[in-house]
Structure 1
Amino acid sequence: MDGATDDVNQAIACELQLMDPQVRASRELAGQLLDPEFVEVGGSGRRWTYETMLAELPDHPGSSQDAPRYEPSSISGVLLAPGLVHLTFQAVLGERRSRHSSIWRRGEGDAGWRMYYHQATRVPPGVE
């Protein structure tokens, strides 16, 4: 496996971890996967930062073991530069379908891969 493929696969693995209800419910676990400079533009149009996301993520959909979970599909990625990966995918959460784009960057030292930016767009019913 070449370095680019390995980096993309590591970023995908981290993205999937962030969809795990156990990770989403834990400020500590989620904080290890979000970059301190993290920003998200959610499907609602709301802008999230590292602190606001960590504070509210446990109450977001997909964060409970007993509720619907994110079901990702068509996940793919590209290495933009050393230590920088762009991922795109679709996800279903209950009846809601969405498209996602995220940028992951490798942290310093042992920090590993962390989500730097995320964009989610809801897909209306009937749209392919």
Structure 2
Amino acid sequence: MGPAVRLSRSIAKTPLDPEFVKVGASGRRWTYEEMIAALPGRDGGDADGPRFEPSRMTGVVLAPGLVHLTYESVFGGNRARPRSLWRRRSGETSWRMYYHQATPVPGGEGSEHS
């Protein structure tokens, strides 16, 4: 989530699965290559700008090597409820984000999970 990762293509590749897919709030689908290329210019890429503030992070093991991660985030006063799938393939030591989607939270809504 931090600018150091977003600004470096080589570092940003590390936590993303080569088959990574993101669905943005607009409904746009992003592939691995599109996301790696776009990260430096997206929110949170400015070292002196606002940063994502995650909270209430929880994970559920769906199957061996597959975890569903949920949390809440605040960025520049806007709240969201991101969901992601992380997988670790046989023989690998690192978990990689395979799928990500964040739903904006309407203003005034409580911070409970739904």
Rounded Cα–Cα distance in structure 1 between residues aligned with 2:8 and 2:36? 8
Residue 89 of structure 2 aligns with which residue?
Answer: 107
* TM-score, with structure 2 as normaliser: 0.90
Residue 27 of structure 1 aligns with which residue?
Answer: 9
- Structure 1: runs of 5+ lacking an equivalent: 1-18
Q: Equivalences for 1:1-128 in 2 at 5 Å?
A: 19-110=1-92, 112-128=94-110
Tell me if structure 2 keeps the 8 A contact 1:72–1:89.
Answer: yes
Q: What do the CA deviations read for 1:79-115 (whole angstroms, capped 9, x no partner)?
A: 1111111100000001111001000001354461110
SS in 2 for 1:66: coil
Change (3 A) 1:44 1:111: farther
- Structure 2: runs of 5+ lacking an equivalent: none
Q: What do the CA deviations read for 1:47-66 (whole angstroms, capped 9, x no partner)?
A: 11101000001111111210
Q: Percent identical across equivalent pairs? A: 60
RMSD after superposition: 1.2
Residue 9 of structure 1 aligns with which residue?
Answer: none
Give 4+ residue runs of structure 1 displaced > 4 Å after superposition: none
Amino acid at match of 1:74: R
Change (3 A) 1:23 1:62: same
- In the alignment of these two chains, the number of paired residues is 110
Tell me if structure 2 keeps the 8 A contact 1:38–1:49.
Answer: yes
